[in-house]
Amino acid sequence: MSTLLAIDGVSKSYPGVKANDDIHFSVGAGEIHALLGENGAGKSTLVKMIYGLVRPDTGGMRFNGVEYAPHGPVAARAAGVAMVFQHFSLFEALTVAENIALGMENAPPRRELAQRIREVSTEYGLPLDPDRLIGDLSVGVRQRVEIVRCLLQNPKLLIMDEPTSVLTPQEVDQLFFTLRKLKADGVSILYISHKLEEIRSLCDHATILRMGKVVATCTPAKETARSLAEMMIGQELAHPPVKDFQPGPVLLKVEGLSMAAPGQFDVALREISLSLRSGEVLGIAGVAGNGQDELMLALSGERLSAPGQVVLDGKPVGAAGPNARRRLGLLAAPEERLGHAAAPDMSLADNGYLSGRIRKRLSVRGFVKQGAVDAFARKIIADFDVRTPGIEARAGALSGGNLQKYVVGREVLQEPKVLVINQPTWGVDAHAAAQIRGALRGLATRGAGVIVISQDLDELVEIADSFAVLANGRLSPVRSATGLQIETIGRMMGGDFSAAEEGAAHVSA
Amino acid sequence: MDLSVIDPISLFVGLVAAATPLLYAAIGELVVEKSGVLNLGVEGMMIVGAVCGFATAVTTGSPLLGFVVGAMGGAVLALVFGGMTQYLLSNQVATGLALTLFGLGVAALVGQPFTGVKSPRVAVVHLPVLSDIPVIGRLVFSYDLVIYLGIALVAAVWFFLNRTRPGLVLRAVGENHDAAHSLGYPVIRIRMMAIAFGGACAGLGGAYLSLVRVPQWTEGMTAGAGWIALAIVVFAAWKPWRVLLGAWLFGGVTILQLNLQASGFLSWLQSVGIPLQAQYLSMTPYLVTIIVLVVISADRTRASVNAPASLGKSFTQTG
Amino acid sequence: MFRLEPRAVTPVWITAVTPLLAVLATMIAGGILFALLGKDPFETIRVIFVAPLGDPYSRTEMLIKAAPLVLIALGLSFGFRAGIWNIGAEGQYVMGALAGGAVGLAFWNVEGAWLLPLMALAGMAGGCLWALIPAFLKVRFNANEILVSLMLVYVATLFLSAMVSGPLRDPAGFNFPQSRLLHESARLPIVLEGTRVHVGVLVALIAVVVAQIVLTRHLFGFNVRLLGQAPRAAAFAGVNAKRLTVVLLGLSGALAGLAGIFEVTGPIGQLQPSLPVGYGFTAIIVAFLGRLNPVGILLAGMVMALTYIGGETAQFSLGIPAAAISVFQGLLLFFLLAVDLLTRYRVVPAKRSGV
């Protein structure tokens, strides 16, 4: 197999971090090559250099045997490199065809382009309607747009950044079919992921990065998921927290909760019902954009419903705002850390006050008790091992994992009766993720009820006692998390809720 | 009251002329906003355009040169705004306000020697035969070149935004600058060009005010026209043809109230026991602006669909 | 070349030094401007910035000019922090002057200690209600408060002009468009014997102290800051954005109205069409120059008052056009916004790329 792309001693530094340190590896023609590593290991920086968005400080690359130093994405595309971004580079208010035209150097006239979109998308099993607005499409279909945009340029190398984190299991199968077909057509694929089973089944070779350095190369099929993980994090895998669910009394009941979609591209909640007991961790799975944010807002009190639709400890709170709910013991931690769970330009101390004011009694008659505020922030930092210069640091200056630990710590230390948390470990390194999961499990052990909304199925299987799926604004019946089959989950995500009844008793029955 | 002085044809002709400064300023701002930038300094750029245009026309005797320099004056001021918001990442709202305050001051300073001076006349395009057709001739063929160019500009902007690739790229930048950047488009350069274009248009609109509409230089002569142009962009829901409609609506209100004042409407009101001062009629363009804003903005779904998603947000390149 | 690097913590000294930097840059740019106008730049800067400080009369006049600017800017600063852009303070100032003045004229020649407080309340109510128009239209219909509040400046100015040439015109004033002179009970008491320094100056000082405490020590100030920096986080913290919008616009309107009635009952003594002199707009510059911080606003108000007083002298003695002073003030705001970058980012030399 000939070499298509060779990375030769590339380094790149940012203030305080060496993102890439003397990286060497190569991708062969017609190969699916995995780039594996934790968040912050340097994968993104590396692929941005290959795509011309970032220039290396030192080192060079060769593509197809010639010197390769793209000074921008346009040059990279001209050389035959295409990329599907993790956070898609799509424009919601523009059509599929316009989005695709924007990613091409010489887009043909509209009608011809529409025709070619239809052809290519059908050929690779990714049907698309060129005239739809992106904003109206599901996440899975949006990814198709990105892929088709790449394919129309006949790339030699396709870079895919975490492509499956937003897909249902069925969509993942579909994607793998497409990728294998591309490989058969001679296209090389650089596949970035931290999902080890996928890499084992799909990729020919893997390069593993840790803290900016290549730490290993291997043939994934010959490794186990565990051995890959240990190469990735550089230590033995932490043991998952012990589940010790002792069903207690019902703490939170949601009954027939329906809500209109707040905006054009949002999701309406339809007839959501669930109940959560003391000591229980309820996992809610689902692909992004199926009502997770909306459910979160309805439970935190940022959007109000009829009083009886949300009942906490026997008290109707559906019409009560966030602070009234906090007073009664219902806390929340939203997904978006910067700008929702925390104010990026405020200090950590202020961010502690932001949600801890009521339960931690951080003010009297509206006047801030600065000493208490600072002490609360220090306690969060100490108990949750948050790495920061101090309580005066801007929240936005912390790394994703550290800020998430701070946000989770802030809620957990308030000893809620019920904690609702959306995407607790999104973009967080394995070590911090393990700490966060342990804290959530510990909270349940102390008698609280916890709802974890997550797209990461492995995470839910690891910590949840009971399990439900949110699909298109509806919640499936809640079932036990033990004995779950991936295939069952996949059908539930597709909206087939009868699958939930199979193979497990209803936990709250 | 003598309503007979209000002749529908001259009313329409007056409306089109009164609308022209607004039309230029608003169509320029539309392009700026479509690229994701909110420049609230339209008033400042207009008045600088007005004074530059007037001073040049008076000094050189050439109205054409006046329009050119007026546009350049607006564009230079706009580039100051662009440099601050795009490179120094200053707040767009505050910087736009600063631009207006600064522009008003600069214009007053530059314009001082020109107060009370008469400007050279701008010729009306007289087309043989066509301009002499009764009614139609006056309604359609009795304007100066700048008015025709203004309408052509609306068509050109529509074509640019909806039918050309650079127009698509500009909309993409306004919609999601991070995505546009990751596809390799130079977000800041594109925005700077849009900002300069918007400034030139506002400058032209201002020059039309001082060279044709009024025509003389007085301090603060734009009297809120720049702000009304901003309101027209909202009214138009970021669609070029509706900018034309909006400009004519406001032009119409202005002309109508001026005609009412001239017609003796107020003394007639007084005679039937309603003493109303001229100031109340002068308020109407501002009140209409507020009412129109309310009506358009109340329809949340429509307003939010058409507004560029990155409008007013600073773009910082990472990595 | 240079690169920008976001700061984790902004040192206090940077926040304090940057406005001084802006003032310095404005002096240099202003000097160039005056040189272009054919004036001696050093002499002009001296007359505008230094000379008034050495003259006792000018010093007290500075206080009188600064009082309305500080009052208005305090109200605006809370709104600006929350991302609510009331730029129609000039209109609210006019409506406050008009409402309070009308009360004073209604009780013309009626003596009583109750009259001034009543006029002050009427002035605040007038400004507040005028500001509640954009507030209501924003929360109810989503109408842009920048445009609405600004349009209302023109409406208020025309309304004042209609009133003083109509119902409120001085009956013995030979048809001049202005009201009667207010009588003694309706005039602000002087606090410094032998000067024109009135009670309004004290009120402005008290307002600074109260605003500083509320902003830094109270939940209200926290919510204001939070709403401006991260609206979704504010919703998460239970802040009712609509209610806060109404409160902040109403508050800034009330303070602008108070400034208006202080002007009428203080230095001017009657209603006249030339009442609006741009304090409502200059206060925007004052608010930013003071870093939206109450104590900063007090200092900024003094600096701005200095340019007014010094500018007037420069007009007489050096023939500097009045407009040059507005250019000067506009420049100051520009430089301020530009140096703001230094508080949020650190400028570091960029590393060379390549081998």
B19 φ/ψ angles, rounded to the nearest 5 degrees: -80, -25
What's the CA gap between A5 and A25, in Å, rounded?
8
Instruction: Name, in order, each residue with C-beta under 8 angstroms of B237's C-beta and a sequence gap of 6 or more.
Output: B296, B302, B303, B306
pLDDT at C355: 31
What is the amino acid identity at position A111? R
pLDDT at B298: 81
Task: pLDDT band for C262, please (50, 70, 90 cuts).
Answer: very high
Nearest to B176 among A77, A91, A103 (CB): A91
Shared domain check, A495 and A445: yes
Closest-approach residue (CA) in chain C for A392: C9
Q: Both tokens of residue A482?
A: 């033990």
Q: Is C344 on the interface with B (CB under 8 A)?
A: yes
H/E stretch holding A33? strand A32-36
Three-state DSSP class for residue A504: coil
Mean pLDDT for all residues in chain A: 89
Shared domain check, A208 and A109: yes
Say if CB A245 and CB A450 are below 8 A apart: no
Residues of C in contact with A56 (CB under 8 A): 353
Instruction: Name, in order, each residue with C-beta under 8 angstroms of C48's C-beta and a sequence gap of 6 or more.
Output: C306, C307, C310, C311, C313, C314, C325, C328
Residues of C in contact with B292 (CB under 8 A): none
pLDDT at A331: 97
pLDDT of C147 over the 70 cut: yes
Q: Choosing among A14, A44, A92, A102, which should be mutated to test the B contact, i.e. which has the most B CBs within 10 A?
A: A102
A240 assigned to some structural domain: no
Where are the domains positioned within chain C? 38-320
Contact A94 B172 (CB under 8 A): yes
Say if CB C308 and CB C328 are below 8 A apart: no
Three-state DSSP class for residue B118: coil
What's the CA gap between C325 and A57, in Å, rounded?
50
Closest-approach residue (CA) in chain A for C353: A57
Q: What is the DSSP letter of A273?
A: E
DSSP H helices in C107-198 = 115-141, 145-164
Instruction: Name, in order, each residue with C-beta under 8 angstroms of C150's C-beta and a sequence gap of 6 or more.
Output: B224, B227, C87, C88
Say if CB A303 and CB A297 are below 8 A apart: yes
Residue keyed to tokens 């924007």: A102
Q: Both tokens of residue C328?
A: 């000067």
Nearest to B44, CA basis, from C330, C32, C34 = C330
Q: Is C171 on the interface with A (CB under 8 A)?
A: no
What's the CA gap between A227 and A196, in Å, rounded?
10
Domain that holds residue A10: 3-233
Label residue B274 exposed, middle or buried (CB < 10 Å: 0-12, 13-18, 19+). exposed
What is the amino acid identity at position A31? E
Closest-approach residue (CA) in chain C for A362: C219
Shared domain check, A291 and A209: no
This prediction has a pTM of: 0.89
Q: What is the largest CA-CA distance in chain C?
A: 87
Q: Both tokens of residue A189?
A: 């694929």
Say if CB C264 and CB C100 are below 8 A apart: yes
Rounded average pLDDT over A184-205: 89
Instruction: Name, in order, each residue with C-beta under 8 angstroms of B69's C-beta and a sequence gap of 6 or more.
Output: B52, B53, B55, B56, B207
Residues of A in contact with B171 (CB under 8 A): 91, 94
Residue keyed to tokens 């207009």: B46
Label residue B247 exposed, middle or buried (CB < 10 Å: 0-12, 13-18, 19+). buried
A243 assigned to some structural domain: no
Residue keyed to tokens 């301020």: C336
Kindly report, residue by residue over A387-440, the tens digit of the pLDDT. Answer: 888 899 999 888 888 899 999 999 999 999 999 999 998 878 778 888 999 999
pLDDT over 90 for what percent of chain A? 57
Shared domain check, A201 and A261: no
**Residue A470 sits in a domain of what CATH number?**
3.40.50.300
pLDDT of C245 over the 80 cut: yes
Say if CB B83 and CB B107 are below 8 A apart: no
Instruction: Name, in order, each residue with C-beta under 8 angstroms of A408's C-beta and a sequence gap of 6 or more.
Output: A333, A384, A421, A424, A436, A439, A440
DSSP string of B100-132, one letter each residue: HHHHHHHHHHHHGGGTTPPPPPPPB---TTGGG
Q: What is the DSSP letter of B164?
A: S
Q: Is C347 on the interface with A (CB under 8 A)?
A: no
Three-state DSSP class for residue A173: helix
Contact B165 A90 (CB under 8 A): no
Contact A354 C218 (CB under 8 A): no
pLDDT of A455 over the 90 cut: no
Nearest to C159 among B103, B112, B279 (CB): B279
Contact A345 C237 (CB under 8 A): no
pLDDT at C248: 97
What architecture (CATH level 2) is domain C38-320? Orthogonal Bundle (1.10)
Kindly report, residue by residue over A162-179, the tens digit of the pLDDT. Answer: 887 777 788 888 889 999
Nearest to C90, CA basis, from C276, C217, C235 = C276
What's the CA gap between B211 and B76, in Å, rounded?
20
Say if CB B27 and CB B240 are below 8 A apart: yes
Residues of A in contact with C6 (CB under 8 A): 396-397
Where are the domains positioned within chain B? 3-306
A124 assigned to some structural domain: yes
pLDDT of A503 over the 70 cut: no
| pLDDT tens per residue across all 319 residues of chain B | 566 667 888 888 889 999 999 999 999 999 999 999 999 999 999 999 999 999 999 999 999 999 999 999 999 999 999 999 999 888 898 899 899 989 999 999 999 889 888 888 887 777 777 777 877 777 777 788 899 999 999 999 999 999 999 999 999 999 999 999 988 899 999 999 999 999 999 999 999 999 998 889 998 899 999 999 999 998 898 999 999 999 999 999 988 888 888 888 888 888 887 778 889 999 999 999 999 889 888 876 555 557 788 888 888 765 4
Residues of B in contact with C324 (CB under 8 A): 105, 109
Shared domain check, A329 and A203: no
Q: Which range (A497-501, B8-12, C4-8) has the least confidence?
A: C4-8
Chain C nearest C-alpha distance from A472 (Å): 23
Residues of C in contact with B101 (CB under 8 A): 281, 284-285, 326, 329-330, 333
pLDDT at C10: 73
pLDDT at A445: 93
Q: Is B291 on the interface with C (CB under 8 A)?
A: no
Chain C nearest C-alpha distance from B128 (Å): 43
Rounded average pLDDT over C20-26: 90
Q: What is the DSSP letter of B4?
A: G
Label residue C339 exposed, middle or buried (CB < 10 Å: 0-12, 13-18, 19+). buried
What's the CA gap between B21 and B70, in Å, rounded?
12
pLDDT of A206 over the 50 cut: yes
Q: Which range (A132-141, A482-491, C71-80) has the least confidence?
A: A482-491
pLDDT of C73 over the 80 cut: yes
Q: What is the DSSP letter of B84?
A: I
Topology at the third CATH level for domain B3-306: ABC transporter involved in vitamin B12 uptake, BtuC (1.10.3470)
Q: Choosing among C10, C236, C340, which should be mutated to test the A contact, i.e. which has the most A CBs within 10 A?
A: C236
pLDDT at B5: 64
